[in-house]
């Protein structure tokens, strides 16, 4: 059984969690967490190295862990991990997906009340039993119940960033089959929706039954839901359903357009086709009666839009939110592309809660071809994240200035992710902030404020001349925590008036601000910075998700600060906030 780097790291993380549940030595727990990070960040083919037992003298991987990695890499499983898991009821692990529950609280619930599932937790919170335990006050229980309700609401949904690696792997496998002529992923994945219910694969082939059978035998398949001559449905280990439709090469453009959706976009497009005398569906474009001439030939999806006298509409925009009207007028914007990015801001290092050093983050950014990287470690209020006090921050600034002397074509920018306090003041005084190249102001607490209070809080922060951008605007965590109450329209008005950037935080757990607000923000003159909120070198790759969401929000290259060149960004940051 084959196993991936990420799967190995996830198993090591789970071992650490299980050991913490058991109350094991914290140093032992930390060793597995460190091992997981070493595997994720290893510069080389770590799975192959582990299989060959060639990880000797690797920092962060001791002899015992080497043996376990060898077992994982060669067999795809680890007896030590499976035995640990067997000590606990399977449903207990679901509790870790509930916001506000860590290992200590889960252990307390299990030991004291026998709670071993989400259903049991919900019952204990409702009937008052959970309130008898330390740390489970009235507000805590209300939050737990709200988190359970949210989890139940999204029980069959998955985050875009969690699905993407699997989706692309399956697509590559389908493309490599000798009977595949063309293949694509359609549905909400192609439209870059932030959360997905399933994946829709489409294959053009002259041997449809061969392809559907092949699809059901892929190694990633956990169970087969259905398999016919042209359709198949499977379920993966994580519960995600994947549907496949096999069509002829001639039908492929129509099927791709149809199954990409959205439903509302398709209804509007079919209505337009009828005005031209054609019926549009997943099989073709045909005359609706004998008085209508046959439609021109279609080889690619773009031909369908051209025949209907529309600009091609990028898949990300197909939500029936004005895209057909814009295409009719020739006003579909040229959307931002990944290759347009020149750098990024809002990244963390080991100085706060990051897992990579300043030098490692710089090297990774340069390897990606970026011209600049902004460092924004947490401010002192985030003590649990080792937030920096002014003296540590200014020493980091000196380190950044020193490192910059070695590069002519790359620059680190010295910043901070400064906390917006409850009253809208900042965690650093202006005399500290003015020594930095930029600052990201973010909320990390007091989420319960009213919409009016929360909005005023952020507006006060934006009015500070040293606040360059607002980080993860709504504070949402997809599928686990709703954003706090905000009047986004007022925030955007203030951002436009003060020249404050609204970050597009492209951590797949956030993707915040929501894509539904970006078109309006753009029209108000608000610009963004696409930031990964990276806590390790590998998370710089999140920029790809940021581009997908930016495109979905109708954003162009000129709407994104970090599409500017190094010289342009230097000049932009050097100007006073009100003159940019």
Contacts of 32 by beta carbon, 8 Å cutoff, 6+ apart: 12, 13, 15, 16, 19, 65
The angle, 0 to 180 degrees and rounded to 10, between the axes of the packed helices 5-22 and 63-75 is 130
User: What percent of the chain clears pLDDT 70, i.e. is strictly above it?
Assistant: 100
Task: Give the lowest-confidence range in 55-69, 311-325, 391-405.
Answer: 55-69
The pLDDT tens digits for 116-130 are 999 999 999 999 999
pLDDT at 30 (0 to 100): 87
Domain membership flag for residue 134: yes
Same domain? For 406 and 314 the reply is no
Domain membership flag for residue 177: yes
Q: 305, 328, 351: which is the final residue of a domain? A: 328
pLDDT at 459 (0 to 100): 98
CB 226 within 8 A of CB 285: no
Same domain? For 240 and 343 the reply is no
Domain membership flag for residue 256: no
pLDDT higher for 145 or 43?
145
Average pLDDT over residues 368-374: 98
pTM, entire model: 0.86
Same domain? For 384 and 496 the reply is yes
Average pLDDT over residues 319-339: 97
Judged against a pLDDT cut of 60, whether residue 186 lies above it is answered with yes
CATH number of the domain at 105, please: 1.10.150.110
Strands 231-236 and 278-280: what pairing?
unpaired
pLDDT at 93 (0 to 100): 83
The pLDDT tens digits for 237-258 are 889 999 999 999 999 999 999 9
CATH number of the domain at 479, please: 3.20.20.140
Average pLDDT over residues 542-558: 98
Q: 123, 153, 183: which is the final residue of a domain? A: 153
Q: Which domain holds residue 562?
A: 338-579
Same domain? For 420 and 562 the reply is yes
Q: 153, 176, 211: which is the final residue of a domain? A: 153
Same domain? For 290 and 245 the reply is no
pLDDT at 1 (0 to 100): 53
Domain membership flag for residue 100: yes
pLDDT at 292 (0 to 100): 79
Phi, psi of 278 (to 5 degrees): -120, 150
For residue 378, the 8-state DSSP code is B
Place of tokens 């990633």: 220
Judged against a pLDDT cut of 60, whether residue 264 lies above it is answered with yes
Same domain? For 162 and 70 the reply is no
pLDDT at 203 (0 to 100): 98
Same domain? For 480 and 558 the reply is yes
Domain membership flag for residue 333: no
Average pLDDT over residues 10-22: 89
pLDDT at 579 (0 to 100): 87
Average pLDDT, the chain: 94
User: What percent of the chain clears pLDDT 90, i.e. is strictly above it?
Assistant: 76
pLDDT at 150 (0 to 100): 83
The percent of the chain in helix, strand and coil, each rounded to the nearest 5, is 50, 15, 40
Place of tokens 């497009």: 269
Mark residue 18 as left, alpha or beta (left: phi above 0; alpha: psi -120 to 50; beta: remaining). alpha
Average pLDDT over residues 262-283: 96
The angle, 0 to 180 degrees and rounded to 10, between the axes of the packed helices 26-41 and 5-22 is 170
Tokens encoding 356: 């990579």
Domain membership flag for residue 259: no
Tokens encoding 117: 């599932």
CB 164 within 8 A of CB 178: no
Same domain? For 403 and 481 the reply is yes
Judged against a pLDDT cut of 60, whether residue 187 lies above it is answered with yes
Judged against a pLDDT cut of 80, whether residue 468 lies above it is answered with yes
Average pLDDT over residues 415-441: 97
Contacts of 188 by beta carbon, 8 Å cutoff, 6+ apart: 196, 197, 261, 262
Distances (CA, A) of 470 to 434, 495, 530, 562: 17, 9, 12, 15
**Is residue 39 very low, low, confident or very high in pLDDT (cuts 50, 70, 90)?**
confident
**Is residue 102 very low, low, confident or very high in pLDDT (cuts 50, 70, 90)?**
confident
**Is residue 568 very low, low, confident or very high in pLDDT (cuts 50, 70, 90)?**
very high
Q: Which of 477, 415, 466 is nearest to 443 (CA)?
A: 477
Same domain? For 359 and 430 the reply is yes
Number of domains in the chain: 4
Judged against a pLDDT cut of 90, whether residue 100 lies above it is answered with no
CA 60, 64, 67, 71: dihedral to nearest 10 degrees?
Answer: -100
Domain membership flag for residue 66: yes
CATH number of the domain at 276, please: 3.30.210.10
pLDDT at 256 (0 to 100): 98
Same domain? For 434 and 394 the reply is yes
Same domain? For 279 and 297 the reply is yes
Average pLDDT over residues 451-477: 98
Judged against a pLDDT cut of 80, whether residue 163 lies above it is answered with yes
Same domain? For 176 and 289 the reply is no
């Amino acid at each position: 059984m084959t196993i991936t780097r990420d799967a190995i790291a996830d198993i090591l993380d789970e071992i650490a969690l299980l050991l913490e549940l058991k109350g094991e030595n914290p140093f032992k727990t930390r060793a597995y967490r460190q091992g997981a990070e070493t595997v994720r960040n290893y510069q080389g083919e770590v799975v192959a190295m582990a299989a060959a037992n060639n990880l000797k003298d690797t920092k962060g991987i001791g002899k015992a862990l080497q043996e376990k990695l060898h077992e994982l890499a060669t067999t795809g499983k680890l007896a030590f991990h499976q035995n640990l898991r067997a000590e606990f009821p399977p449903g207990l692990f679901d509790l870790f997906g509930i916001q506000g529950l860590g290992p200590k609280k889960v252990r307390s619930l299990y030991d004291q009340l026998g709670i071993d599932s989400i259903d049991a937790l919900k019952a204990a919170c409702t009937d008052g039993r959970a309130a008898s335990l330390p740390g489970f006050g009235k507000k805590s229980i209300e939050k737990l119940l709200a988190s359970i309700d949210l989890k139940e609401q999204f029980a069959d949904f998955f985050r875009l960033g969690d699905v993407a690696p699997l989706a692309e792997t399956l697509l590559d496998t389908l493309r490599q089959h000798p009977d595949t002529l063309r293949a694509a992923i359609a549905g909400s994945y192609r439209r870059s929706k932030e959360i997905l219910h399933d994946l829709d694969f489409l294959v053009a082939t002259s041997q449809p039954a061969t392809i559907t059978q092949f699809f059901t035998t892929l190694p990633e398949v956990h169970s087969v839901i259905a398999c016919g001559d042209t359709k198949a449905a499977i379920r993966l280990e994580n519960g995600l359903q994947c549907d496949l439709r096999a069509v002829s090469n001639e039908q492929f453009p129509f099927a791709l357009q149809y199954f990409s959706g959205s439903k509302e976009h398709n209804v509007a497009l079919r209505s337009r086709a009828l005005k031209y005398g054609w019926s549009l569906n997943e099989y073709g474009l045909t005359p609706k009666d004998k008085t209508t001439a046959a439609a021109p030939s279609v080889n690619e999806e773009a031909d369908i839009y051209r025949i209907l006298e529309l600009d091609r509409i990028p898949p990300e925009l197909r939500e029936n939110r004005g895209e057909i009207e814009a295409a009719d007028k020739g006003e579909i914007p040229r959307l931002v592309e990944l290759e347009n990015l020149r750098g990024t801001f809002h990244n963390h290092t080991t100085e706060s809660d990051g897992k990579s050093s300043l030098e490692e983050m710089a090297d990774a950014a340069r390897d990606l071809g970026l011209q600049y990287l902004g460092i924004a470690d947490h401010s002192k209020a985030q003590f649990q994240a080792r937030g920096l006090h002014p003296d540590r921050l200014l020493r980091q600034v000196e380190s950044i200035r020193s490192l910059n002397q070695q590069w002519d074509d790359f620059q680190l920018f010295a910043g901070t992710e400064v906390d917006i306090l409850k009253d809208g003041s900042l965690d650093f005084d202006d005399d500290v902030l003015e020594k930095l190249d930029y600052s990201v102001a973010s909320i990390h607490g007091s989420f319960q404020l009213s919409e009016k209070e929360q909005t005023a809080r952020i507006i006060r922060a934006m009015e500070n001349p040293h606040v360059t951008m607002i980080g993860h605007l709504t504070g949402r965590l997809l599928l686990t925590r709703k954003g706090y109450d905000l009047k986004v329209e007022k925030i955007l008005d203030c951002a436009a008036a003060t020249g404050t950037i609204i970050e597009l935080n492209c951590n797949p757990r956030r993707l915040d601000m929501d894509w539904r607000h970006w078109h309006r923000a753009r029209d108000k003159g608000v610009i963004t910075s696409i930031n990964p909120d990276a806590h390790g070198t590998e998370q710089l790759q999140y920029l790809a998700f940021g581009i997908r969401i930016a495109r979905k929000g109708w954003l162009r290259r000129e709407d994104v600060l970090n599409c500017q060149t190094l010289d342009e960004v230097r000049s932009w940051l050097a100007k006073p906030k009100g003159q940019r």
